[in-house]
Amino acid sequence: KRFRAVPKPDFVVGSSKTIRSLAKLAGYAQPGWAGDERWRLPRAALGAWIPVLARIPAEARQELPGITADRTFQITAGAVVLHEAMRSLGVDELEVSPWALREGVMLRYIEQLGWEGDR
């Protein structure tokens, strides 16, 4: 109920290995500004994969694009949680960050140190 009062975001970025895995399964790549691929993950495509993931035995999920052996047991739950979060927030599609929490923690730490690079 609280999310209904929050304005719909203009741009959403997801960051985690699970989200990157799901994007390689259900999303699409597009050219980035520096020549790198940028992955996008539509909520509708993600939602279509949830029942498929639920039917496939965990051991077999690693045969799917983007799903690694260490993610086979949690990927379905991750897909459900992400899909519901996107639905609750009114997010139709998100861009996938190549970075995750640990990189963000490191960047914040460097920022707090006052490092500004070469002068």
pLDDT tens-digit readout, 34-80:
778 899 999 999 999 999 999 999 999 999 999 999 989 999 999 99
pLDDT confidence of residue 116: 64
How many Å apart are CA 96 and CA 78, to the nearest integer?
A: 14
CATH architecture of 2-113: 2-Layer Sandwich (3.30)
Asked which of 31-35, 69-73, 106-110 is least confident by mean pLDDT, the reply is 31-35
Strand extents, DSSP E, the chain: 13-14, 28-31, 37-42, 93-96
How many Å apart are CA 47 and CA 40, to the nearest integer?
A: 14
pTM score above 0.85: no
The three-class DSSP label of residue 3 is helix
Q: Residue 67: exposed, middle, or buried by beta-carbon count in 10 A (0-12, 13-18, 19+)?
A: buried
